[in-house]
Structure 1
């Protein structure tokens, strides 16, 4: 018995399935390039065992707990920490049983595919997870976590990870990355510069963050010039710890190209806290253009994750903080919003700006035409709700005819759930091979070209886009 079908996601039609299987077999075992994600670098710095099955699979994974919350399970019952330090379920076995009792909720979702892949291929479990098998699952996984082969670095190597990028805020001291570098371990774990806390005037503690930013860099962040200089220094600090990219999570794709006096005046307004929501959005937009200019200087690939209405539930945000499953897609304008920045940097062929959206309606109308014209732009893979078999298929069908394969940036898993990384990349490889098989079967792509494209989508495009 197995949990996963060996031909999962490949076409049902026999001739296309044979082509897809041939393509997949050539890329299935390629190293994993994971250029954007949210795993904790501390795991690899300390290399101690993961605490328990619940801490590995449930508590950190917003894909998992948001589904349970949607069916009435409270975050406290799943051990998700409260911001006020209030009581939450502390018994990992109880959390695991609760998860197992509700596992049927994931039927038909990519989460089920990722989880089943992890259970079978990482832990050797082939019986379905149910309320009846919950304790046997827990005991088996818990015992494995105590073995040397299941420590974080051992799993990193077993997963065939060539590089793993984490994401840290601009104020992070990167001590875990330094500890990894000093340890002599050969695994490549790099950081990513995420400056939201000192770029978004609506980020909690923004004024205090700016003071800390100045103290860290020795720059006078009470002035516009000093503030920009602080960013340049922190970006260099991140580069020294392996960073090849920055990441920007903005509610809109708005960019601005204000004159320096106008930008300085706007900065003083947002720094004082006396700004409107419109002015805060304009400042975020100006900073995307400033960050693009800095990328021209220091070579960091720039990622823009726009269109997520983050922390949609005020109650969950107040009780549990950010990134708790309530980031919801919203309509996003890209053509008009990006124009100020693109007028400045869009034709720079040495710059790489990767665009991610949660608004699928814009792929064909806006994003693929933009990436198919501007040398500086690449399309990021489907993200958050859409890094799924159907999402990947829709992405390829909607964008390929306009911008081709080589104006996209391969795949990234964007995950906090470490054991799901090989599963997510496997889904991407299978989905892309299924799409390519359709092109071959209908005479739109030669088989030898399909093999090359499959390799590039799996490995080379991400490596090139992120300068890895």
Structure 2
């Protein structure tokens, strides 16, 4: 029997394929309704408004180097799962995975002595991934990888140790062809607009090159200031100095620091940006007085600000970011509740983003109150809140989004961007916030080739949920189809509009 979320049974001699009803309901009547709904969204353009693909990938448009560099080494979902199996008896350990280095992750700059060097043989990395394919059963990584390998790269066989070399050769052949270069795949995926993530001091050179090539309204930057507003970071002062250089403004004073942030935000708006992005471990938006903020900034610059003071300053700066969003119209995205680099020794050896970012309990009701009281009814303000704490959906986020016109609830992301978690999200939030107080689907990925796979899975999950509502006679079929189109296409566009600045021309010029 073919598994619901898997491909048909495949080995070295059979053709690998995707089941057309994957992730749809098993009940025949609901499945038929879900198919009808999915048919109306499956071919809609992709609006990818929250992601982490490097703009230089598309600006340079150079071929991807090899299957391991494309699919394995940069994917923290994939790497973390294989490393989690590295000390257990089984195929992953037998394939030689002992640490992230065995999957091609290079040591960090200044890594301690004894840090293992990164594997440099891409075929060996690929074999290790293929040997561990069974570890991904039932995971979203499995669903995305199947979609990409089969639908995009026409992979003939399922990954396994026995098929790894033949599969590697097949993929390497495809990657050498011009239709598998980044811009060609962008067109093939049907991406209408792709938002990247960029620091305030970034030159945005790649975006300028894309704009010169006629892609300026299709690949747009997103303003990510975390490192610039967290004085607890050891390199915060360096970031503030770089901000001043990028803005051409002296950032040794608190006033200059704020002016530089405003100036860089306007530079991002000029480059097509529609949003900011804020990912902090703890969420607080309590503002300080101007005098308190200036004292905290001066102490931070002098290296004498304590932990409590640093957290209070970051909370104050989140409030300032909201105030600036009300001025310049950039949508404010917030996604707190991640303890980053949980494995400190591995972070020192290999740096961040290697799979050890772990969710913690998040609180939104009190944390967002200062911002929502100040700007939640402002016509030029939009806040989109994301979480990896599912318990916050029905308890806090849906009621907040269902009350404040300036707030929308972001799609499930990171650990929750799987079909079952997407269903739970709809069940937890729809009765309080409805559909239109959500952002529609955003993919939050740096894995470029998985963008179409993630949107396909989200559209299937929403079609399944909407089919249930139709089957229970809570929606008519035409309403369900209209809601599905909203979630897949209209709402992401509406949630991330082009900024309409409330600044006067004189203020904007300043």
What is the distance in 1 between the residues matched to 2:408 and 2:216?
30
Look up the match of 2:378: 348
1:209 aligns to 2:234 (yes or no): no
Is this contact kept in 2: 1:256–1:285, CA < 8 A? yes
What is the distance in 2 between the residues matched to 1:103 and 1:272?
51
More displaced stretch, 150-159 vs 275-284: 275-284
User: Secondary structure of 2:386's match?
Assistant: strand
Which ranges of structure 2 fall in alignment gaps of 5 or more residues? 1-14, 87-96, 499-510
What is the distance in 1 between the residues matched to 2:83 and 2:191?
32
For each residue in 1:204-238, what CA deviation from the matched residue of structure 2 results, as whole angstroms up to 9, or x when unmatched?
Answer: 31112111211221222121111110000111111
Structure 1 residues 132-147: aligned runs within 5 Å: 132-147=162-177
1:24 aligns to 2:38 (yes or no): yes
1:315 aligns to 2:327 (yes or no): no
Residue 279 (structure 1) aligned to one of 284, 309, 320: 309
Structure 1's 185 and 398: CA in aligned 2 closer, same or farther, altered over 3 A?
closer
Structure 1 residues 238-317: aligned runs within 5 Å: 238-317=268-347
What is the distance in 2 between the residues matched to 1:361 and 1:317?
29
User: Secondary structure of 2:470's match?
Assistant: helix
TM-score, normalised to structure 2, is: 0.90
Is this contact kept in 2: 1:257–1:286, CA < 8 A? yes
More displaced stretch, 172-181 vs 243-252: 172-181
Look up the match of 1:406: 436
When the two chains are superposed, the root-mean-square deviation of aligned CA atoms in Å is 1.3
Is this contact kept in 1: 2:426–2:465, CA < 8 A? yes
1:63 aligns to 2:93 (yes or no): no
Structure 1's 381 and 261: CA in aligned 2 closer, same or farther, altered over 3 A?
same
The alpha carbon displacement at 1:260 in A equals 1.5
Structure 1's 187 and 132: CA in aligned 2 closer, same or farther, altered over 3 A?
farther
Look up the match of 2:108: 83
Residue 484 (structure 2) aligned to one of 454, 459, 467: 454
Look up the match of 1:108: 138
* Runs ≥4 residues deviating over 3 A: 184-187
1:34 aligns to 2:59 (yes or no): no
More displaced stretch, 369-378 vs 264-273: 264-273
Is this contact kept in 2: 1:170–1:197, CA < 8 A? no
User: Secondary structure of 2:277's match?
Assistant: strand
More displaced stretch, 50-59 vs 73-82: 73-82
1:46 aligns to 2:60 (yes or no): yes
The alpha carbon displacement at 1:454 in A equals 0.3
1:168 aligns to 2:198 (yes or no): yes
Look up the match of 1:223: 253
Which ranges of structure 1 fall in alignment gaps of 5 or more residues? none
Structure 1's 192 and 186: CA in aligned 2 closer, same or farther, altered over 3 A?
closer
Is this contact kept in 2: 1:59–1:65, CA < 8 A? yes
Is this contact kept in 1: 2:203–2:246, CA < 8 A? no
Is this contact kept in 2: 1:196–1:203, CA < 8 A? no
The alpha carbon displacement at 1:167 in A equals 0.4
Is this contact kept in 2: 1:3–1:117, CA < 8 A? no
1:150 aligns to 2:160 (yes or no): no
The alpha carbon displacement at 1:178 in A equals 1.1
The alpha carbon displacement at 1:321 in A equals 1.7
The alpha carbon displacement at 1:185 in A equals 4.8
Look up the match of 1:183: 213
1:431 aligns to 2:461 (yes or no): yes
For each residue in 1:85-104, what CA deviation from the matched residue of structure 2 results, as whole angstroms up to 9, or x when unmatched?
Answer: 77311111111011111111
The alpha carbon displacement at 1:419 in A equals 1.0
1:335 aligns to 2:349 (yes or no): no
Is this contact kept in 1: 2:443–2:455, CA < 8 A? yes
Look up the match of 1:94: 124
The alpha carbon displacement at 1:84 in A equals 2.5
More displaced stretch, 347-356 vs 77-86: 77-86
1:13 aligns to 2:27 (yes or no): yes
For each residue in 1:227-269, what CA deviation from the matched residue of structure 2 results, as whole angstroms up to 9, or x when unmatched?
Answer: 1100001111112222111001111121112221222222222
Is this contact kept in 1: 2:100–2:354, CA < 8 A? no
The alpha carbon displacement at 1:179 in A equals 1.3
For each residue in 1:396-452, what CA deviation from the matched residue of structure 2 results, as whole angstroms up to 9, or x when unmatched?
Answer: 000000010011000111111111111100000000010000001101111111111
Is this contact kept in 1: 2:210–2:216, CA < 8 A? no
Is this contact kept in 2: 1:309–1:329, CA < 8 A? yes
1:324 aligns to 2:338 (yes or no): no
Q: How many residues align?
A: 468
